[in-house]
Amino acid sequence: MIDSRKKTSFVNFFTKKAKQNKIRARSWFKLDEINCKYNLFKPNMNVVDLGASPGSWSQYAINKIKPNGKVIACDILYMYPINGVKFIQGDFCNNGVFYKLIKTGRKNIQLILSDAAPNISGISLIDNKNFYNLLIKVILLCRKILIKNGNLVIKIFQGREINRYIKVISLLFNDVKISKPVASKSKSREIYIIGIKYKF
């Protein structure tokens, strides 16, 4: 178990390292740790990145899927362009944006990434409901555009609902893993669920 002081120093280390290497955010290192463990990226694959801004995951992905892979990124917030990344600005929970992602993905996506999170109110009943609704929207997107044996990485917050989240994802994927990357803040409740080998 990592001491919280060491965890804080790790976070500061990754923040500085991101700036030194012109990486858009510390979250790049979270995805790198997950990928090193589960080997999610392959050359020439197609990836969707939800909650993408400022773009560190898209930045990571596009370099892993060269020379002919593509990334479709989506966020409510604007994201500065990245070569090889198609950006759709908007809330993917909105039907118009959701169907735009479906049209662009065309049932040809091998990996869906979601670092998105709803606005946190501090009221657990509301926050759990909003996170569950976001999870269901990501699952619906998987049903529309993820190919068989494709993979999913989605951020959730630890809480009483975590077993429910895992159960929903396990219905669609052959294996489900949990990751708490070192580059995450020690006080953050965020963890990542990795759905491996989409069944359909």
Domains of the chain: 4-198 (3.40.50.150)
β-strands 85-89, 70-75 pairing: parallel
Task: Say what the pLDDT of residue 174 is.
Answer: 98
β-strands 173-179, 190-198 pairing: antiparallel
Residue ranges in the chain assigned as alpha helix (H): 4-20, 27-38, 56-64, 95-105, 124-145, 162-170
Task: Say what the pLDDT of residue 1 is.
Answer: 46
Task: Say what the pLDDT of residue 120 is.
Answer: 80
Task: Say what the pLDDT of residue 127 is.
Answer: 81
Residues marked active site are found at: 155
Task: Say what the pLDDT of residue 6 is.
Answer: 53
> What does DSSP assign to residue 68?
T
Task: Say what the pLDDT of residue 122 is.
Answer: 77
Q: What residues in the chain have per-residue pLDDT under 70?
A: 1-11
Task: Say what the pLDDT of residue 88 is.
Answer: 98
